A and B are shown apart, each in its own frame.
Chain A
Amino acid sequence: MFEEIDNDTHQADFLIPGLRFEKNSVSNTYAGNGWFSRKLMSSKGPLISDFVTHEPNFSYSTYGIHVGQDDRLTFMGDNGKKIEGYFVDCREGSPSFHKIIQLRFSPSLHRHLVIPRGVAHTFDNLEYIVTRDEPIWHSDQDNTAWNLDNDLVSVPRTTELAKFPMIKANRYRLPDEAHRFLSKISQSLLENPKSYLARYPVTIRGAEQYVTFEPKTWSDDAHSVAERLTDEEFCGVRIKRNRYALTGARSYTLVPNTASCVADVLVLPASVPGTPHQYYWHARTKKTYTFLNNQELQIDLSLIDLRHDSATYGQHKSLQIICDPRTSIHIEQGIAYTFNCSKPTLVRCEHEVFVSQNEPRSDIPMFGQDLIPFAVDQPYPNIKLPDMRCPDILLYKMAKFEQQTLKVT
């Protein structure tokens, strides 16, 4: 029996202790303030997020149980169906041990689902949906079920409730800086894409041990993404491969591209035909955008190079980008640009921030306001762009400050 969760419910607790919805931090952006209509910020905590995409006809045939990780999942996008979630408490000593509950709910930017470590979970109707996870990691001494490199025990969905494993969940929450450290290692490991290996408990000669299953047919992914990438900068823009693992044949888990590990999710609304394109540019910020959903949709990016020292200074260019979560577009400072897309699209936004020797500068906006409108008939600005890259830890701390202070709706 499913418990129905309506769209206005952003906070709720359930029979399994710790399983709950919590409210997200979403801000509306306004007309005249960039191309994006809404911004989903990181939740309180380590500010580290990964994103999982789900291909057409996607289905899970297993439950997953974390030993050291609490999941915090925001379900984004729309496939016309409600998501169905199944949860079995496998925690040693829990009052709801081996109880199952089922939830039915729509994707929403406004809430995330917290799944405590030790609670088995799986979902139906995730095709085309993107999930943002903001995990909280825990460690422990001598917990044989915990594998730091692969914190998920898989259990086939056909398993009887009484035969679900009993999990001793890790006890000690890792500090935020350890999360960032782990994320940086994960980024390095995924410089080249890899398939994710599922881990199953198996009894061999009377003793339980863990075995991973690796689907060999997923390994030729690098070749198929190569044609989407640009070898060289094109008028201040490059398309690069993201760092990701394959969690299905055409489903991906994206980890951060930057050592600050900070990312927001922005909603790019569908363009209104006949509306003139508004250009904006950034003086202090290099942007990295990943189009998370609407795979294979074409988005038109129009560019004007405003950089005085550039070989393509003053040139107008157009770039057709195919939405593919395996790739991201990198836009330099001093490039005015605008998007044209036919469907509302979710965009992961990462950035690098630059400062000058002669700060504070009055000729360019301060951090957090670095979005400058540009009209094609106005003179080109004559501005020396900041050229000193802020350390990643500074960007991380700025994001922490923004998370704590920005008004949300």
Chain B
Amino acid sequence: MKATQEAVSWKEELADLVGSAQNAEESLALAAFEKALSPYLQEPGALRTLLGKIQAMEIVALDSLTAKQEFNSIEELQSFLPANIKAQAA
């Protein structure tokens, strides 16, 4: 319930933000931003952190990416990973 209320509030704030553009570049930026963010706001819980950080990942998990260039499915990729690492489509 809280997530839904927040999403509604965010949609309203986003609409205000898009309407507040001061020049052509801001209009372009905010229009693209709205397009990127809106699908997430339709589905509360789809967002995770909104961060972009380098993760301290175990080297063994990465060996599969460099040793094998192509996979048939995410399940096949998962089979190369340690049990404590979960792969999923982004």
B32, B52, B72, B89: the one contacting A172 at CB < 8 Å is B32
Whether B36 and A146, one on each chain, are in contact in the complex, defined by CB atoms closer than 8 angstroms, is: yes
Judging by beta carbons under 8 Å apart, are B21 and A60 in contact?
no
Contact assessment for A188 and B6 in the assembled complex, using a CB-CB cutoff below 8 Å: yes
Chain A residue at minimal CB-CB distance from B48: A149
CB distance from B1 to the nearest CB of A (A): 14
Whether, in the assembled complex, A111 has its beta carbon less than 8 Å from a beta carbon of chain B, the answer is no
CB of A303 closer than 8 Å to a CB of B: no
Interface centre among A58, A175, A248 (most CB of B within 10 A): A175
Residue A253 is within 8 A (CB to CB) of chain B in the complex:
yes
Residues of chain B within 8 A of A154, CB atoms compared: 54-55, 57
- Counting contact residues on chain B (CB < 8 A from A), the size range is 35 or more
Q: What is the bound-complex CA distance between A178 and B33, given in angstroms?
A: 9
Q: Report A-chain residues with C-beta under 8 Å of the C-beta of B87.
A: 211-214
Give A150 to B47 CA distance when docked, in angstroms.
9
Does the CB pair A203–B26 fall under 8 Å? no
Q: Which of B28, B55, B90 contacts A62 (CB 8 A)?
A: B55
Q: A158-B66, A216-B84, A217-B84 are in contact. Are A194 and B90 (CB under 8 A)?
A: no
- Whether B54 lies near A64 (C-beta < 8 A) is yes
Contact indicator B74/A211 (Cβ below 8 Å) = yes
How does the 8 Å CB contact mask read for A123-145 relative to B, with 1 for contact and 0 for none?
A: 00000000000010011110000
- Asked if residues B17 and A181 are in contact (CB atoms below 8 Å), the reply is yes
B8 proximity list for chain A (CB < 8 A): none
What is the distance, in angstroms, from B6's C-beta to the closest C-beta of chain A? 6
Q: Is A69's CB under 8 angstroms from B52's CB?
A: yes
Q: How far is the CB of B54 from chain A (nearest CB, A)?
A: 4
The verdict on A392 contacting chain B, using a C-beta distance below 8 Å, is no
Chain B residues near A172: list those with CB within 8 A: 25, 28-29, 32
Looking across the interface, which residue of chain B has its beta carbon closest to that of A186? B50
In addition to A62-B57, A159-B66, A189-B47, 5 A-B residue pairs with Cβ atoms within 8 Å of each other are A122-B54, A139-B29, A171-B28, A204-B72, A245-B49
Closest 8 pairs between A and B when the two form their complex, measured CB to CB:
A248-B56, A151-B52, A172-B29, A152-B52, A64-B54, A198-B55, A139-B32, A210-B90
16 contacts between A and B (CB under 8 A): A60-B54, A62-B54, A135-B52, A156-B62, A170-B32, A171-B28, A172-B28, A175-B29, A178-B29, A189-B47, A196-B49, A197-B90, A203-B69, A204-B70, A209-B89, A211-B88
| A residues apposed to B, CB below 8 Å | 50, 52, 55, 58-64, 66, 68-69, 121-122, 135, 138-141, 146-152, 154, 156, 158-159, 170-175, 177-178, 181-182, 185-186, 188-190, 194, 196-200, 202-206, 209-217, 245, 247-249, 251, 253, 255
